[in-house]
Amino acid sequence: MSASWTWHGGGVEAARAHFDGEDWIDLSTGINPHPWPGTNALAIDWQRLPERHELAGLEAAAADYFGVDPRHVCAVPGTEIGLRLAGGLVGGSAHYVAPTYRTHGEMIAGAIRTTLDAAGAGTVILANPNNPDGRALSSAQLRGLLDRRDPGAWLLLDEAFADVDPALSLAGAIDDARPLMIFRSFGKFFGLAGVRLGFVLGPSPMLDAIRAALGAWPVSAAAIAIGTAAYRDRSWTEAMRARLRNDAAALDAVLAAAGHAAIGACPLFRLIEVPSGIALFEQLARHAILTRPFAEQPRWLRIGLPSTGEALARLETALRG
């Protein structure tokens, strides 16, 4: 199976070229199919660089949304860059809890793959909710992991999907004394991955080092304007959380009717285990539906939320073969 579809979600153009077909449905990414709707109403000045106070306003809006002090929030051009910068600053020996997002294994050179039960007291890289299996740990469980860190060790916590349930976040534990850094994605929950906006939450000295590495103007004027407005739109946020839960329940019902048990507590995607994930991936692709297979777990297939009832019905038909 080509790395076009097993490396990350996406790759619709490659799928169209390989499988043919029109009107593709992309269920491979775990990105909210109902994006925040306010982008076109914003006035963005493309002819000037962002002002420092505008970036500070974005970080303040995000901090209020996350429930932390703004001095513990640093905007980055996507969490992918934030993960790699923070990993380079922490360095040393580390373990990453698998299965998980591929970049976690690349954050710190020599990081060793482990399981949640076997994670020791050194630096640990962990996602909550986890991708791709949707495992979710309580804040009490996460605090227990944090409290077990050895001196000089860190808990590096990827909360890219935590917006769906704020109770899952450990952001309230962020301060200058705890060895905790959290990574938050804007694009996944708000459905605007192309904005390329994320945040690192952590002790001020670590964030100062990340800002120094990023240099001036770390994110675009568009990212600042869109992120600031979206994080302040609390009514949309609350309504979307409820909508995603309902959409996930509808997806679960379709999967169950096709004989598949849905795994995961994150409503933006579901994981199923089948005799051959690649075979089911190709079956769905012949119906112009793109999902996410895994080279290292050939029985897994991750399926994101269809955006409409019509898309869900197409998935239901395609699952029947």
Query: How many domains, in total, are found in the chain?
Result: 2
Q: Which residues pair with 181 in a beta bridge?
A: 156
- pLDDT given at position 253: 98
Please state, as a whole number, how many other Cβ atoms lie within 10 Å of the Cβ of residue 88. 14
Please state, as a whole number, how many other Cβ atoms lie within 10 Å of the Cβ of residue 305. 22
54 with 180, same domain: the answer is yes
Token pair 């791709």 is found at: 132
Angle subtended at Cα 145 by Cα 143 and Cα 151, rounded to the nearest 5 degrees: 105
- Of the residues 184, 205, 232, which one is the last residue of a structural domain? 232
Whether 250 maps to a domain, the answer reads yes
98 with 220, same domain: the answer is yes
Whole-angstrom distance, CA of residue 2 vs CA of residue 14:
10
103 with 213, same domain: the answer is yes
Q: State the alpha helices, DSSP H only, in 216-308.
A: 221-232, 234-257, 277-285
Question: Do 89 and 108 form a contact (C-beta atoms < 8 A)?
Answer: no
- Of the residues 175, 205, 232, which one is the last residue of a structural domain? 232
Going by DSSP bridges, is the β-strand pair 94-97/123-127 parallel, antiparallel, or unpaired? parallel
Whether 40 maps to a domain, the answer reads no
222 with 81, same domain: the answer is yes
Whether 307 maps to a domain, the answer reads yes
φ, ψ (nearest 5 deg) of residue 155: -105, 115
Whether 108 maps to a domain, the answer reads yes
Q: 289 Cβ partners below 8 Å, 6+ apart?
A: 24, 25, 27, 314, 315, 318
Question: Do 198 and 182 form a contact (C-beta atoms < 8 A)?
Answer: no
168 with 271, same domain: the answer is no
Residue-level pLDDT, tens digit, the chain, 321 residues: 455 676 667 778 787 888 877 899 999 999 999 999 999 999 999 999 999 999 999 999 999 999 999 999 999 999 999 999 999 999 999 999 999 999 999 999 999 999 999 999 999 999 999 999 999 999 999 999 999 999 999 999 999 999 999 999 999 999 999 999 999 999 999 999 999 999 999 999 999 999 999 999 999 999 999 999 999 999 999 999 999 999 999 999 999 999 999 999 999 999 999 999 999 999 999 999 999 999 889 999 999 999 999 999 999 999 998
φ, ψ (nearest 5 deg) of residue 272: -125, 155
82 with 226, same domain: the answer is yes
136 with 86, same domain: the answer is yes
User: Could you tell me the CATH number of the domain that includes residue 13?
Assistant: 3.90.1150.10
143 with 280, same domain: the answer is no
User: Could you tell me the CATH number of the domain that includes residue 152?
Assistant: 3.40.640.10
24 with 90, same domain: the answer is no
First-to-last C-alpha distance (Å) of the chain: 20
64 with 146, same domain: the answer is yes
Range(s) of the domain holding residue 276: 3-35+235-319
118 with 90, same domain: the answer is yes
- pLDDT given at position 7: 64
Whether 7 maps to a domain, the answer reads yes
96 with 110, same domain: the answer is yes
Please state, as a whole number, how many other Cβ atoms lie within 10 Å of the Cβ of residue 187. 22
- Of the residues 185, 211, 232, which one is the last residue of a structural domain? 232
